[in-house]
Structures are given as structure tokens and as C-alpha cells.
Structure 1
């Protein structure tokens, strides 16, 4: 069992969190929206992004960056490509050296044309970065 943090409560991040929870990993989602966190924690749903899907009761969410990454051995970065640099910059103080960050966002960074994994490595050099790629349909 691993402790996993998922940064991003959209459809892809939530779907991956569900799968990881079903394989007995302890998973916490970080979301910007307190309303999303409240819905995930109390109703075990994320109707905005995965309508009709019941989330595992062991899956929890928070808006607190410290709480989200506390004890996390693996961090899934599931934010839109346009938000990767800012999100990683905001989370830098909370990453422990050697943490594995898995980028699941697609695309290149506007302007620099860096792969998103390169952006993450640039922002969080103390962590290991890898990528989950391929077609993705959270629904």
C-alpha cells in the first residue's frame, strides 16, 4: 500500500484516484475548491466532472497543500497543462526530496514548448518525475 496524493480534482485526477483506492492505496485529492472537497468527503461524488459515479468512502480530499502531500510517496499531477508550472511552483515547499511525481496532463507548455514533465522537473528538481501517457477518457 502506498500513500498517494492527486493534485487536481477534475475527471482524470478523480478517475485515477478511484482506481488507486480500489487497489488499496491510501489516496487524498487536493482541490482548489472547498465545495469540491466538501462534496467528495461528504457525498462521495464529484458530479461536476464524473456525474453518476460514487467515489470510494476511503478517498478523501482537501484544499490544504500540507495535508494533501503529508506522507505521500507518489504524487499524481492532474491539473490542466496551462496550470502545471504555477501549481508545481505553489507546491514546491511541500514536496519531500525523492517523491515521485507522475504527470498525467497532455501537451506542451505555451511559450517554452517544454514537455510538462520538463516543466515539473524544472520547478521541483528534488523529485523524480515520470509520465503516464496515452489516450485518456475518465468517463
Structure 2
């Protein structure tokens, strides 16, 4: 029997971003006995979370530990921090960290729960962290973990990946509990790419739901989507085994079937015939797949990676292609070997 990880020495953690996942992680770490300060972008949001004892807008009904401090003052949040936890959507990540950089400590390790690829620069979240905050150990957390469930202590398993020896294990000790199991991995590139691309496939899965195509088609789509993700990752040096694990197929399944999946919800509305502009503009939570697909396709074309599912998602979102037409496009492709 494998022994559980040794308890982590008590740390001070600054959580940058009070969205659903940032709030969830802050709760989990505080419940492990660590000192946690949660930074919210506006004083109004910070005040509402602190006063109500919950993030009622994004995690209603989830009571936060009394020890959890919430603030809109980044310098206060980061004071004495042993680790930064970054939970800002990719679309806003660079601008947010650039603004906060003078108030955040240099050199301390960072844990990213961001899942996306920056449009234009094609940077992964860990690369953006290092470019804006300076060189430091960065670990990425991946795997099937909807904040709505993990925050309620429903069992979840994730993977922490780092290119800095020992840092993933430090995150494992920080977050592991009887309801939140953390594995480790040294494939930072693979875990980040898996976390980004699964959002695109989840949009496609939602389109299947919106069109009422049934279980056979959705299962096939998830399987072929997993193959696209693995091909893309291999082209950028990721370990193929990563995509068969929690960060790959595990996160993909959850994102494609869960009622909590915001990318799947976007796809479902597209499948029902709503225009892409309306669907993407009124989402209360950021659907990362919408921006990620714009980054993925140029990179795939540059490396000669075939990504037919992602290509059809892009066409629906940005080329006004009717969602129903994607079925014929995918099903009438020349047959070939699996």
C-alpha cells in the first residue's frame, strides 16, 4: 500500500482570482490548515464574499472557512506568501498579472489552475506567469475538477505537474486530503495543453447535445477529440501518456458530460441554433474553449496536425457556420484507419 504524502508545513498562500475555481482552491487549502488570502478584483466582490461567508454569485451555498481572508488589496493578499495560486481566465491573465506584478513577491512558487492558450502569443499559462512575474517554479493543476463539486467536498482527483523538481510534490502535500486526491507528473506542457484543448472538444460535445444527436455520436466525438488532443500535444513535445490520464481523458470526459461544464453549455446553445455572438457574450463564467480554439488552429496548421473537430468548432463560432452542418462535414470525411 502506498503511503499518503507527508503533511505539508503550514504555508501562507495568496490566491489571485476569486472566481469559482479560485474560491474553491482557497477553501480546500484553508481546510488543510494553511493560511489563505483570497484576492478579488473589486472591493465590492471582496466585501460580498467576506460579509456573506460564501461566493454567492459563483459558488452559492458553499460556506467558506472563517480563517479565509478576502481582500481586494493584492499587496495585502501576497504579504508573506509562500506560494501564489493563479486563478484568472487566460483572456485576462497577462493584463491582470502585469498590473499586480509590483505587489507580488518575486521568486516564490506559483500554482496555476488556468486552462487555456493565450490568443496571439500562443503562450501557455505557466509561460505567461513567468513572463509577467519573473522566473519562478510553476506547477499546473489539471484533471476533472469542477469547482461546484470539489468545494462541496465531493471526491475529486487531480494531477499537479511541474518542470521544477519537487514542486509538484509540494503542491501535493499542500492540497491533498481525504476528498481531494492529488497525483504528480513532470509533464507541465502536456497537462497545460490537455487542460486547454479539452475545452474546445467540450464545446463540440455541447453542440451534439443541442442537436440531439444521441449517445453514440457524443461518445465517438469525445474519443476522436481525445485523439486530436494527443496528436497536438505530441507535436509540442508532451508525453503521450499524459493524455490517457487525469489531465487528458479524465478532464475531457467531465467537461463533455457535466451539467457544470460552461464550454459544453456554450456548445449546447449553439447546437440549438442560437447565434455565437449572443451565446458568448452573456456567459456569467468564462468559457475558455471559445478563445482557445482561435489559438489552437494556427499552431496545428503550422505543425501539420489534423484537428477536424476543432476546425468545425471554429467554423461555428467565428465563420457563422450552422451547427447542424458540422455533422455532415465530420461524417463525410474520407474514411481511414483509426
Match of 2:132 in 1: 123
More contact order relative to length (CA 8 Å, sep ≥ 6): 1
Name the CA distance, whole Å, in 2 between partners of 1:36 and 1:99. 26
CA distance in structure 1 between the aligned counterparts of 2:77 and 2:136, rounded to whole angstroms = 16
With 109-118 and 88-97 compared, the bigger mean Cα shift is at 88-97
2:317 aligns to what?
none
- TM-score of the superposition, structure 1-length normalised? 0.94
Does residue 109 in structure 1 map to residue 118 in structure 2? yes
TM-superposition CA deviations, 1:53-96 (whole Å, max 9, x none): 11111111111111011011111100111111111111211232
Structure with greater proportional strand content: 1
Task: Indicate if the aligned counterparts of 1:95 and 1:127 stay in contact, CA closer than 8 A.
Answer: no
1:100 corresponds in structure 2 to 109
Does 2:66 correspond to 1:52?
A: no
Give how far 1:136 is off: 2.5
Post-superposition, which runs of at least 4 consecutive aligned residues in structure 1 deviate over 4 A? Answer: none
Distance 2:17 2:106 in 1: 21
| 1:67 to 2:76 alignment | yes
Matched with 2:90 is: 81
Provide TM-score, normalisation by structure 2: 0.40
Conserved 8 A contact 1:96-1:126: no
- Give 3-state SS (helix, strand or coil) of 2:95's partner: helix
1:133 Cα deviation from its structure 2 partner? 1.4
- The number of residues matched between the two structures is 139
- Matches of 1:45 and 1:95, distance apart in 2: 25
CA offset at residue 39 of structure 1? 2.1
Out of 46, 52, 62, the residue aligned to residue 43 of structure 1 is 52
Deviation of 1:128 after TM superposition, in Å, equals 2.3
More helix by share: 2
Whole-Å Cα distance in 1 between the matches of residues 90 and 145 of structure 2? 14
Unaligned runs of at least 5 residues, structure 2: 1-9, 149-338
CA distance in 2, matches of 1:85, 1:38: 25
Q: Which has the larger radius of gyration?
A: 2
